Homo-oligomer: A and B are copies of this chain.
Amino acid sequence: MRYIALRLAYSGTNYHGWQAQKELPTVSGTLERALSEICGEQVRVTGCGRTDAGVHAKTYVANFRTGSQLPVDRLPYAVNSRLPEDIAVYDAAEVEEDFHAVFSAVKKEYTYYIYPSRLKNPFYARRAYFYPGKIDLEAMRSAAAQMTGTHDFSAFRSAGSNVKTTVRTVYYFDCAAEGELIALKICANGFLYNMARSMAGTAIYASEGKILPERIPDIFDAAQRKNAGPTLPPHGLFMTGVWYKTPVFKR
């Protein structure tokens, strides 16, 4: 048996998330079908996170095992030729048997993109959150600074996942303009369900003056979901990085 990790990217618009109901198209199901064809056996993939329907990934890591002897440097080309145009594999590498795309990860980065404009733009539809107003970047940055560090993020998660602890460490939460977009980059040792989207919603509320940055410590303390900002829609969210104890890919 060989153990292989893949680095891939996908546009999540046409999928019901990474992993979901068997009846509906998912990224993992589509990838498994393509890999099974080239490996000549049923392949099961493990992904680095359960992205919701509509969420995208510029960088995503998945692992699988196979008896196939296909060389890893040919694998991206072979699998891409069997994948639809909204999923692409960029790299493949052999890993140790104990590698696990989720549990071996030491940190992840999500980026939430906002398109602040009077009028919508067809080319950002489903790729950024259209916000028909002005963004106060300084207020966002003050709020983001309060959300950085080690906290109990209970107020920033949706129900629906069982986790041992709700304490996470946010290494950075950068708010910056990227062309016409505002990019909110959040890097943490782990994310609770909907944590990135509710942190982005809290930054929007700070921009609107609905949440004062200096009150955010109270939001952590009270641990009530209703005190934080809204969960922004999925289509603005991109997984943009995942790091492992031992680097997996050469590039």
**How far is it, in angstroms, between the C-alpha of A126 and the C-alpha of B120 when the chains are bound?**
20
What's the tally of chain A residues with a CB closer than 8 Å to chain B? 22
Residues of chain A having any CB pair with chain B under 8 Å: 9-11, 56, 58, 76-77, 80, 85-90, 119-123, 125-127
Residues of B within 8 A of A123 (CB): 9, 11, 56, 58, 127
Q: How far is the CB of A70 from chain B (nearest CB, A)?
A: 17
Q: Which of B9, B77, B125 contacts A121 (CB 8 A)?
A: B9
Q: Which of B11, B58, B77, B89 contacts A125 (CB 8 A)?
A: B11
Taken together, the copies of this chain in the complex come to 2
Q: How far is the CB of A55 from chain B (nearest CB, A)?
A: 13
Q: Which of B87, B89, B120 contacts A80 (CB 8 A)?
A: B120
Closest B residue by C-beta to A85: B125
Q: Which of B9, B119, B121, B122 contacts A122 (CB 8 A)?
A: B9
**How far is it, in angstroms, between the C-alpha of A125 and the C-alpha of B88 when the chains are bound?**
10
**How far is it, in angstroms, between the C-alpha of A126 and the C-alpha of B9 when the chains are bound?**
16
Residues of B within 8 A of A87 (CB): 122
